[in-house]
């Protein structure tokens, strides 16, 4: 009996020690190592800074990589930062209240400003060229999780406005605001490398004034085009049309496609 009692006391001691260790670990926030950064994601560039996500927080640095500083430190996950046209504000998505919504924050830092409140996920995609509204995708108005649509919300706050494009995921405005380059479906190649099925990713160019839509040409055997970014008359994008993903440029005037990386 004495031996059983001693074993029971030892078991309880180990149990309480484990609980105390878990409590102690849970109260200490894991801080990112600023001297050995890895897995930086979602880069965004302005004329002065680069923004990115590291350790689920939003960071900012100079274009040369110096003066890195963290802009957010909430336990929620941040993603998809995009600079405003003047480079003074960053729009991004965050899960501060358990749901993914649109926020903005000045590059100087401060408290983020929440712009959307819908229970569906709102993912930042860009800004309108005048810098007055944030472009985001959301499934708030569809009845299947296969699709999302595009919306804008005023940077000063207000109700979102749905754009007249049936389905879209990634998107960006042309500098003059007359066109939108977008992908109607999400990229499937993350699950199936070199996917060439019917839901392959395409980039369409929508003309706002008359709703005309053209597609960036693809090879006869299809490919996956994604991440459109518009500078001047050129749409830059990623494509696996040569097997591996590389950066390409589509000239909207000449309709020529140029491979930029190998």
pLDDT of residue 197: 92
Whole-prediction pTM value?
Answer: 0.85
Contacts of 237 (CB under 8 A, 6+ apart): 181, 203, 216, 225, 226, 227, 228, 229, 247, 248, 249, 250
Q: Where are the beta strands (DSSP E) in 140-189?
A: 149-154, 161-162, 171-173, 179-182
- Total residues found in the chain within this entry: 262
Per-residue pLDDT of the chain (262 residues; tens, 9 = 90+): 545 555 555 555 454 455 444 444 444 556 767 677 778 999 999 999 999 999 999 999 999 989 999 999 999 999 999 999 999 999 999 999 889 999 999 999 999 999 999 999 999 999 999 999 999 999 999 988 889 999 999 999 999 999 999 999 999 999 999 999 999 999 888 888 989 999 999 999 999 999 999 999 999 999 999 999 999 999 999 999 999 999 999 999 999 999 999 9
- Quote the pLDDT of residue 97: 86
| Residue 145: per-residue pLDDT | 85
Q: What is the pLDDT of residue 144?
A: 86
| CA nearest neighbour of 140 among 158, 126, 159, 154 | 159
pLDDT of residue 3: 54
CATH architecture of 32-259: 6 Propeller (2.120)
Paired with 24 in beta bridges are none
Q: What is the pLDDT of residue 11?
A: 55
Hey, CA dihedral for 120, 121, 123, 127, is it positive or negative?
positive
């Amino acid at each position: 009996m004495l031996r059983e009692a001693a074993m029971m006391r030892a078991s309880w001691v180990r149990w309480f020690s484990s609980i105390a260790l878990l409590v102690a670990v849970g109260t200490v926030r894991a801080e990112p190592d600023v001297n050995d950064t890895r897995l930086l994601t979602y880069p965004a560039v302005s004329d002065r800074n680069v923004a990115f996500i590291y350790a689920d927080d939003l960071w900012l640095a100079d274009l040369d990589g110096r003066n890195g500083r963290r802009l957010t430190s909430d336990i929620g996950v941040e993603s998809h930062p995009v600079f405003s046209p003047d480079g003074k504000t960053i729009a991004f998505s965050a899960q501060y209240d358990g749901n993914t919504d649109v926020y903005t924050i000045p590059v100087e830092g401060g408290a983020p400003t929440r712009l959307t409140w819908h229970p569906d996920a709102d993912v930042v995609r860009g800004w309108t060229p005048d810098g007055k509204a944030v472009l985001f995708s959301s499934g708030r108005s569809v009845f299947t999780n296969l699709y999302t649509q595009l919306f804008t919300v005023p940077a000063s706050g207000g109700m979102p406005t749905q754009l007249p494009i049936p389905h879209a995921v990634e998107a960006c405005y042309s500098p003059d605001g007359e066109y939108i380059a977008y992908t109607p479906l999400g990229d499937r190649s993350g699950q199936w490398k070199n996917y060439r099925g019917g839901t392959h990713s395409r980039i369409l160019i929508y003309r706002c004034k008359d709703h005309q839509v053209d597609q960036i040409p693809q090879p006869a055997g299809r490919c996956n085009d994604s991440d459109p970014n518009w500078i001047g008359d050129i749409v830059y994008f990623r494509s696996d049309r040569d097997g591996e993903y590389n950066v390409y440029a589509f000239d909207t005037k000449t309709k020529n496609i140029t491979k930029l990386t190998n």
